[in-house]
Amino acid sequence: MAATTLTDRKNAAISRGVGMTTQIYADRAENAEIWDKEGRRYIDFAAGIAVLNTGHRHPRVIAAVKDQLDHFTHTCHQVVPYESYVHLAERLNALTPGNFEKKTIFVTTGAEAVENAVKIARAATGRSAVIAFGGGFHGRTFMGMALNAGRCLPCPVPGRAAWRDAGSVAGRAEEAVCR
């Protein structure tokens, strides 16, 4: 099927809020390569936005997925927990450097990770303010977009001019937050 036909279908069926970097529609992939619907081969430099560290269709990943499907597909750990979730958390906690109690949380998106990190930091510090660096992408949730939109004061980067005049109200607030 031609990419233009798929693009027309995509435009009719999917919200404009879902951006696309390319008009290459994947048909299959192996290791670090993707083939489009017309059979053209590409090197996958994006790797699913850095989530495919083993490449496409790594044999050990495929074997693990097949094994899991033989047990159950999904239960939502918060509703019906399972041992492999606990085991992976224990493994990650053991690998994390430092001599302190460690805890792990698994989430499905970067935005969910950002929101939980903010909640955890607020609970741990007792502070309500957060610092977000300008130009970063923090997700499509309301909190992520608020961080993107500069509703949190940007922290000055060493060697760069301050974002706001130090004598202004915003500059004084920034100075207090960035201490």
Which stretch of 10-24, 60-74, 96-110, 157-171 has the lowest confidence by average pLDDT? 157-171
Which stretch of 70-79, 114-123, 133-142 has the lowest confidence by average pLDDT? 133-142
- pLDDT given for residue 1 in this prediction: 56
Which stretch of 57-66, 73-82, 122-131, 137-146 has the lowest confidence by average pLDDT? 137-146
- Nearest Cα to Cα of residue 121 among 113, 108, 112, 130: 130
Average pLDDT over the chain, rounded to an integer = 82
- pLDDT given for residue 168 in this prediction: 52
In a domain, 106, yes or no: no
Please give the torsion angle defined by the CA atoms of residues 135, 164, 113 and 100, in that order, rounded to the nearest 10 degrees. Answer: 130
**How much is the pTM?**
0.63
- pLDDT given for residue 140 in this prediction: 79
| 8 A C-beta contact, residue 1 and residue 36 | no
In a domain, 163, yes or no: yes
Q: How far apart are CA 76 and CA 116, in angstroms?
A: 17
In a domain, 120, yes or no: no
Q: How far apart are CA 179 and CA 120, in angstroms?
A: 20
- State which of 43, 63, 83 marks the end of a domain: 63
| 8 A C-beta contact, residue 173 and residue 153 | yes
In a domain, 122, yes or no: no
Domain at 36, CATH number: 3.90.1150.10
Residue 57 has pLDDT above 60, yes or no: yes
Q: How far apart are CA 88 and CA 85, in angstroms?
A: 5
Residue 151 has pLDDT above 50, yes or no: no
Please tell me what DSSP assigns to residue 56.
B
Residue 154 has pLDDT above 50, yes or no: no
In a domain, 80, yes or no: no
Residue 64 has pLDDT above 60, yes or no: yes
Q: pLDDT band at residue 109, thresholds of 50, 70 and 90?
A: confident
Domain that holds residue 157: 128-177
Q: How far apart are CA 130 and CA 170, in angstroms?
A: 15
- State which of 19, 35, 63 marks the end of a domain: 63
Domains in the chain, number? 2
DSSP H helical ranges for the chain? 3-13, 47-50, 59-71, 83-95, 110-125, 142-148, 169-177
- State which of 32, 63, 94 marks the end of a domain: 63
Q: Show Cβ contacts of residue 31 under 8 Å, excluding neighbours closer than 6 positions.
A: 55, 56, 57, 58
- pLDDT given for residue 164 in this prediction: 46
Q: Is 15 exposed, middle or buried (0-12, 13-18, 19+ CB in 10 A)?
A: exposed
